[in-house]
Amino acid sequence: MYFFNPIYFIIVLPAMLFAFYAQAAVSSAVSRASKLRSSRGLTGREVAEQILAAGGLSDVRVERTRGGRGLGDHYDPRSRTIRLSPQIFDRPSVAAMGIAAHEAGHALQHARGYTFLLVRNGLFPVVQFASGLAFPLFIAGLIFASTSRLGLGLMDLGIVLFFAAVVFQIITLPVEYNASSRAVAALGDLGLVAGEETVAARRVLNAAALTYVAATAAALAQLLYLLVLRGRRD
């Protein structure tokens, strides 16, 4: 009933296609940069550590994850730890350098009190809870809307909770782009990349950032679809 409405495909399909394109772009960029070896022989771990040292962040650790599924490469602000997958932590490729530098960029944001990062970190537990309830509440409301005013109320509550998730996605955009900007600047300022390496690293970071734009577009499309369904119940 929710997904087989033609309106769903009209509103959401373009965003889904954009998401597929963004994922393909990042896969292609990472694949190419993974084949390009660092001219200085630096692994992702060493790049992250050098950027942290240059930024005066001696209290941030760089750890290798066990790989597999999970959060993947990320910066944990609670423990002040950068966690890198084995293929990023151990390999001296330009892809590993770019991704490690990006995570180090998040650590720099945290240390410098970057506003959007602090807001996102504060919203995360609330949004995680809200997003898990948004669709079940909305669909329950959709089912009972024709027989009870409570159904309309559940739909409205689901929309409000999903709107919080959309706001979180929007706030994430400047956080990710700023981290990538810091990464590119640090790689260049410290002389960790040069020439073709710089281009490849920037391509990886730009493609990765595009996936967040696609995620935001998908969230906005979903929100619009919820609003359309709610409006047809009035």
Report how far residue 2's alpha carbon sits from residue 213's, in angstroms, rounded to the nearest whole number: 24
Rounded distance between C-alpha atoms, residue 189 and residue 172, angstroms:
26
| 3: in domain | no
CA 123 to chain centre: 15
Confirm whether 188 is domain-assigned.
yes
Q: Residue 82: inside a domain, yes or no?
A: yes
Residue 141 near residue 153 (C-beta atoms within 8 A): yes
**pTM (global) more than 0.85:** yes
103 is catalytic: yes
Q: Domain span at residue 134?
A: 9-231
- Position 177 in a domain: yes
Q: Considering the domain boundaries, does residue 95 fall inside one?
A: yes
Into how many domains does the chain fold?
Answer: 1
Residue 226 to residue 234: CA distance in whole angstroms: 13
97 inside domain:
yes
Give domain status of residue 1, yes or no: no
- CA torsion 77-79-81-86 (nearest 10°) is -110
Q: For 6-39, how does the pLDDT look when each residue is reduced to its tens digit (9 = 90+)?
A: 888 899 999 999 999 999 999 999 999 999 999 9
pLDDT in tens, 102-160: 999 999 999 999 999 999 999 999 998 988 999 999 999 988 887 778 889 999 999 99
In a domain, 209, yes or no: yes
Which residue out of 46, 103, 176, 197 is catalytically annotated? 103
Q: Where are the beta strands (DSSP E) in 88-128?
A: none
